[in-house]
């Protein structure tokens, strides 16, 4: 039986509720139903335990972004660790009623709503018992002192905090773009990008979306690989230059029928890098100032005026996998036969087992890997029945990608083994159009990006 009532005290709304359990224990919880981010509230709990003696524990789990502090613990051992608030009595007080209180504090960036529940556990007649409290809705009002752009829903705070912690290890890793300069003599725009790599040493990438009517060409990539395709200019580094900061440049060449307006040239780009085996990205910030030939003091002065927010990207590039269907060796590669189940191996030259609990649908794997695509269509088919006649070594799994149902086999950590298996299919079946697709954490990426990220060679 539950009884609810609302108290209005000095303009603050409180909610108090009682929970009655068959053991005769009654628990009353009194707390505000609203908290302002960056502030604290007090939670008052009263437990009518009757003649209960011995061990007892009160526990409440708080979402990330909240912390708890003891106020009046009623002789209990108070702790707050791993987002769990605990009050533990080895022997509860003799009084029939226990009253205690604690404070919970909300991070100043929080917003949203949460359900707070709890559990009271105790020993009764040498039997362990527990009573779960009915959840209490707590609304979080945003702090007026925080920029709305920096607010985080409480349900997303754990992931955001994790990303920010990783980004902090990267320091001020950021890419800035100088406002594109029109070079009248050469009839082109010159684009200069400043990369401050800070703690980043290995893989990094810049992607710039080029306006229609223009073609991009490399000028200075500082040892990176420059590519231009489908209106995207890209710089990729497996190992970044040794300097703490550097500039790269490329040119935008207008087509003959394009009317050039230097004031209307707008670009959008993303700077991505890897740290702790995770890929973070941030938008490239454009500045109306010269970025080439700067001293370290000048660079630091510019960076002090720049705020960027990194987000985690599950893939290195959100694009369809490129084909690599050139003919090659006629000897099939040596691969472990996981057939999408059983033990997995991530050593070079081995396949990786795919956990698949949904029939013939492709399940994501962690890391970067390759599969061999054998067919695609706009309507789905039962993979196991349709491809049974080919007697393939691996189960055929399907995925939806760019409006197609795509069917692939195997899972390889080495490109060469995927290539060898594709050749093997061509030599032993009528699947002559098979090609290699690359993935990062279950999402398709280009084979080129996978090769560079894994530092592997391409084989014909």
Q: Residue 138 and residue 114: Cα distance in Å, rounded?
A: 5
Q: Residue 264 and residue 251: Cα distance in Å, rounded?
A: 16
Beta bridge partners of 457: none
Structure tokens at 173: 């890793």
- Are 58 and 47 in contact by the 8 Å Cβ rule? The answer is yes
Q: Residue 256 and residue 187: Cα distance in Å, rounded?
A: 10
CB atoms within 10 A of CB 164: 13
Structure tokens at 216: 């991009």
Can you list the domains of the chain with their CATH numbers? Answer: 2-141 (2.60.40.2110), 174-312 (2.60.40.290), 320-460 (3.30.70.1070)
CA angle 384/388/393 to nearest 5° reads 90
Q: Residue 362 and residue 400: Cα distance in Å, rounded?
A: 9
Q: What is the pLDDT along the chain (460 residues), one digit of tens a residue?
A: 343 333 333 334 444 555 555 457 888 899 999 999 999 999 999 998 888 888 999 999 999 889 999 999 999 999 999 899 999 999 988 888 999 999 999 999 899 999 999 999 998 888 888 888 888 899 999 999 888 877 889 888 776 665 555 555 545 788 999 999 999 899 999 999 999 887 777 778 999 999 999 999 999 999 888 989 889 999 988 788 888 899 999 999 999 888 888 888 889 999 988 776 667 888 899 988 999 999 989 988 888 877 776 666 543 222 223 333 222 333 333 333 333 333 333 333 333 433 333 468 999 998 899 999 998 887 788 888 888 888 888 889 999 988 788 999 999 999 999 999 988 988 888 787 788 999 999 999 988 888 888 888 776 6
pLDDT of residue 55: 92
SS3 per residue for the chain = CEEEEEEEECCEEEEEEEEECCCCCEEEEEEECEEECCCEEEEEEEEECCCCCCCEEEEEECCCCEEEEEEECCCCEEEEECCEEEEEECCCCCCCEEEEEEEEEECCCEEEEEEECCEEEEEECCEEEEEECCCEEEEEECCCCCCHHHCEEHHHHHHHHHHHHHHHHCCCCEEEEECCEEECCCCEEEEEEEEECCCCCCCEEEEEECCCCEEEEEEECCCCEEEEECCEEEEEECCCCCCCEEEEEEEEEECCCCCCCHHHCCCEEEEEEEECCEEEEEECEEECCCCCCCCHHHHHHHHHCCCCCCEECCCCCCCCCCCCCCCCCCCCCCCCCCCCCCCCCCCCCCECCCCCCCCCECCCCCCEEEEEEEEEECCCCCHHHHCHHHCCCCCCEEEEECCEEEEEEEEECCHHHHHHHHHHHHHHCCCCCCEEEEEECCEEECHHHHHHHHCCCCCC
First to last CA, the chain: 73
- Residue 37, CA distances (Å) to 7, 83, 199, 217 in order: 22, 17, 32, 49
Structure tokens at 339: 């057939």
Q: Which residue has the tokens 């009839």?
A: 187
- Residue 357, CA distances (Å) to 347, 354, 364 in order: 24, 10, 11
Backbone angles phi, psi at 346, to 5 degrees: -115, 10
pLDDT of residue 246: 94
Q: Residue 194 and residue 176: Cα distance in Å, rounded?
A: 5
The separation between CA 341 and the C-alpha centre of its own chain, rounded to angstroms, equals 27
Q: Residue 275 and residue 282: Cα distance in Å, rounded?
A: 14
Residue/partner pairs of 296-303 with CB below 8 Å, 24 or more apart: 296/244, 296/245, 299/194, 299/196, 299/245, 302/176, 302/194, 303/172, 303/174, 303/196
Q: State pTM to two decimals.
A: 0.43
**Cβ neighbours for 5, distance < 8 A, ≥ 6 positions apart:** 16, 17
């Amino acid at each position: 039986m539950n009884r609810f009532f609302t108290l209005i005290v000095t303009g603050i709304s409180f909610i108090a509720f009682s929970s009655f359990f068959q053991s005769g224990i009654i628990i009353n919880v009194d707390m505000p139903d609203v908290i302002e981010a960056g502030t604290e509230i007090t939670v008052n709990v009263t437990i009518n335990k009757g003649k209960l003696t011995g061990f007892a524990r009160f526990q409440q789990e708080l979402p990330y972004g909240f912390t708890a502090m003891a106020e009046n613990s009623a002789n209990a051992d108070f702790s707050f660790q791993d987002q769990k608030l605990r009050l533990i009595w080895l022997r509860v007080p003799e009084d029939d009623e226990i009253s205690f209180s604690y404070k919970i504090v909300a991070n100043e960036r929080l917003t949203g709503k949460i359900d707070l529940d709890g559990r009271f556990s105790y020993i009764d007649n040498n039997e362990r018992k527990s009573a779960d409290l009915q959840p209490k809705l707590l609304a979080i009002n945003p702090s007026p002192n925080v920029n709305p752009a920096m607010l985080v829903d409480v349900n997303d705070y754990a992931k955001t905090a994790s990303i920010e912690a990783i980004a902090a290890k990267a320091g001020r890793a950021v890419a800035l773009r100088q406002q594109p300069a029109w070079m009248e003599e050469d009839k082109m725009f010159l684009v200069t990008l400043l990369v401050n790599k800070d703690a980043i040493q290995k893989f990094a990438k810049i992607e710039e979306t080029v306006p229609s009517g223009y073609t991009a060409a490399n000028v200075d990539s500082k040892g990176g690989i420059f590519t231009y395709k489908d209106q995207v200019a890209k710089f990729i580094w497996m190992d970044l230059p040794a300097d703490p900061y550097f500039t790269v440049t490329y040119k935008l060449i207008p087509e003959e029928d394009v009317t050039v307006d230097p004031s209307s040239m707008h670009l959008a780009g993303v700077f991505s890098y890897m740290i702790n085996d995770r890929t973070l990205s941030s938008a490239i910030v454009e500045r109306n100032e010269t970025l080439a030939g700067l001293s370290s003091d000048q660079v630091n002065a510019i960076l002090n005026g720049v705020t960027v927010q990194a987000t985690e990207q599950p893939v290195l590039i959100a694009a369809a996998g490129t084909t690599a269907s050139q003919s090659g060796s006629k000897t099939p590669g040596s691969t472990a036969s996981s057939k999408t189940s059983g033990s997995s191996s991530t050593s070079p030259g081995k396949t990786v087992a795919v956990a698949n609990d949904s029939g013939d649908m492709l399940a994501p794997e962690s890391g970067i890997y390759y599969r061999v695509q054998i067919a695609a269509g706009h309507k789905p088919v039962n993979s196991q029945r349709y491809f049974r006649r080919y007697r393939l070594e691996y189960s055929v799994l399907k995925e939806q990608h760019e409006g197609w149902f795509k069917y692939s086999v195997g899972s390889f950590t080495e490109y060469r083994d995927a290539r060898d298996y594709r050749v093997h299919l061509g030599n032993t079946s009528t699947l002559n159009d098979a090609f290699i697709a690359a993935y990062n954490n279950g999402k398709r990426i280009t084979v080129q990006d996978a090769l560079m990220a894994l530092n592997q060679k391409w084989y014909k």
